[in-house]
Structure 1
Amino acid sequence: MNGKHGLTKTQSGSALKWVVLILSLFVNAVQAATWTLTYPRPLDDDDMRSEYPVALLKLALDKTGVNYQLLPSDRILLQGKSIRQLRENREVNVVWSMTDVQREKDLLPIRIPIAKGLIGLRVFVINQRNQDEFKGISSKPDILKLTAIQGEEWPDTKILQANGFNVLTVKEYDEAYASLSQNRGDFFPRSVIEVLTELEEKGRDPDIHLEPDLALYYPTAMYFFVNRGNPILARLIETGLNIAIEDGSFDALFMSHHEATLNKLMIPSRRVFRLENPLLPEKTPTDNGELWYKPQGLLE
């Protein structure tokens, strides 16, 4: 095109050169800057649940070649508080959490399931004094007769309720274990990536055990989230994760952290009941099989 209605070839070529130059300067600026990422400080130094997300975040940032500092927040921030602080752009600028529709409205998700969906694979923590209640379970209606324990702000609570469970809600994670000890609920469904570390924590009630035969599965993802006003940081993390997926280092890190746990929990030998997840956002990449781990022999 030329004249009044468009650019001449010379003008078009000059415009393209300017675009390339601006993009080049942008990339150089991103790489030259030192990025400080602050994530929620865990309950204590022995809390291993943050070990894998932090390691994966480091891997992603390393893959981009940027200079960065990765630091815990000054104070302990549990999930509900950390999400509120991120939404308000205070204290932290990255969190990892299970997604739902509201969370993706409040925060900016990087839609790569960092634990390959294992956050939705749930085994049962029970009080061993009540273990006979679980021996006769053969179907989903049998499980629905029991009361599950979950955090009141966790997406899992709404998922369980939508599937017909009676759910006892608690404010904090430690209160869930206390409620189980006091027989206020029948079981505490915990993700396979959390449960073993939690059961090994100091001071845990010796009557609290892992139920050996059952599990639940609902499709869901744990993502890294940033503040909605920080799309450059989101793109940076996403780029690093995609590079790690392409070169195999993502899967290598995933297996190094989770393979032994999956074997120890004997997932293939468990009866795994599938639940629906009405909170799963439409843009969840469920059609990309390489991003997910799915247990064998799911029961409807």
Structure 2
Amino acid sequence: MKKLVFGLVLLLISGNLLAATWIITFPRPLGEADHRTEYPVKLIALALDQTGVNYQLVPTEKIMLQDKALKQLADNRTVNVVWSMTDKDREERLLPIRIPIYKGLIGWRVFLIKQNRSKEFQNINNLQSLIKYKPIQGFDWPDTKILQSNGFDVYTSKTYKGLFTMLSQKQGDFLPRSLVEVWPEYDSGNLDQSIVVESTLGVRYPTAMYFFVNKNNKILARILEDGLEKAIANGKFDELFRTEFTDTLKRTNMGKRFFFEIENPLLPEKTPIGRKELWY
């Protein structure tokens, strides 16, 4: 009798989840030229479509930088899902869905540089030579600590636009950007014309960008995780990934570009490194 009652309760809960409309609020992009939101939102929609729940995806009314978005999420205010590169601190404060949404491409970094320094970078042939150059990063990014831990003297900006201004004004030597970010930024038309994508080098470190929810929002986390796992199993995750990034990988000239491998001391222990299907 107890098993029957428990089963009925589960059916009732499942029915309520399917009947309710989930309002999924995510951080609004920084502007019309900021396309970084597009793929994560498509992936959220794909995951939710796999589960059968009703949902609406809604951007925040105001632009919200990453640091503020993560704080608001931790306080259960304004947003209920944020995608961000993982580290130990973020996994302690928030609830991660441990499926790398970019298959680890967020840790494959190529460099924005001043065009007149192209030959200089082409002559770099070892990591120690690269470490002599000063990268530019966001002040609160995990990447900053990763680069510093590998010996780089990192210059930081408190704003996204400030990164490119610093590079343009030679306040740093290069701006490492992930493969999923660099080409939309370069094509946006918003960069100084003297800035180019360096053609021969990169750095790579193991990391993942996850969807995060509030620590107490375990039902939403389960819905997103179940949907992503179903999309992985039926191939729709890979289909979306190929649609979005095949041209990016070709344009980056991966076969002829050398990536220096560096360590990531911030990588949480529960990162699913062993699941090969999750990684590029």
Partner Cα separation in structure 2 for residue 127 and residue 284 of structure 1: 35
CA distance in 1, matches of 2:144, 2:10: 44
**Does residue 1:165 correspond to 2:149, yes or no?**
no
Please give the alpha-carbon distance, in whole angstroms, between the structure 2 residues aligned to 1:147 and 1:119: 20
In the other structure, the counterpart of 1:201 is 188
Amino acid at match of 2:152: F
Who is 2:58 aligned against? 71
Alpha-carbon RMSD across the aligned residues, in angstroms, is 0.8
Task: Pick one of 75, 81, 95 that aligns with 2:68.
Answer: 81
After superposition, give the CA deviation of every residue in 1:142-162 in whole Å (9 maximum; x if it has no partner).
Answer: 110100000000000000001
Q: How big is each residue's C-alpha offset from its partner over 1:207-255, in whole Å with a ceiling of 9 and x where there is no partner? A: 0001000011100000000011100000000000000000000000001
Q: Secondary structure at the match of 2:135?
A: strand
Matching residue of 2:121: 134
Partner in structure 2 of residue 149 of structure 1? 136
**Deviations 1:106-148 (Å, cap 9, x if unpaired)?**
1100000000000000000001122232121111101101000
Q: 2:261 aligns with which of 258, 274, 279?
A: 274
> What secondary structure does 1:204 align onto?
coil
TM-score (norm 1): 0.92
CA distance in structure 2 between the aligned counterparts of 1:178 and 1:224, rounded to whole angstroms: 29
Which stretches in structure 1 are left out of the alignment for 5+ residues?
1-13, 294-300
Answering whether residue 168 of structure 2 is matched by residue 181 of structure 1, we say yes
Q: Deviations along 1:253-300, whole A, 9 cap, x unmatched?
A: 00100010110110121011111100000000000000000xxxxxxx
The runs of at least 4 consecutive aligned structure 1 residues that moved more than 3 Å come to: none
Query: Match for 2:250 among 257, 263, 271?
Result: 263
Normalising by structure 2, we get a TM-score of 0.98
1:52 maps to 39
Provide the aligned length of Structure 1 versus Structure 2. Answer: 280
Could you give the per-residue CA deviations for residues 39-62 of structure 1, whole angstroms, max 9, x where no partner exists?
A: 000011332111110000000001
- Which one of the candidate residues 215, 227, 239 is aligned to 1:240? 227
Secondary structure at the counterpart of residue 212 of structure 1:
coil
The Cα of 1:88 is off from its aligned counterpart by: 1.0
Identity of aligned residues (%): 53
**Pairing 1:216–2:206 present:** no
Structure 2 runs not aligned, ≥5 long:
none
| 1:296 matched residue in structure 2 | none
Which shows bigger deviation, 124-133 or 96-105? 124-133
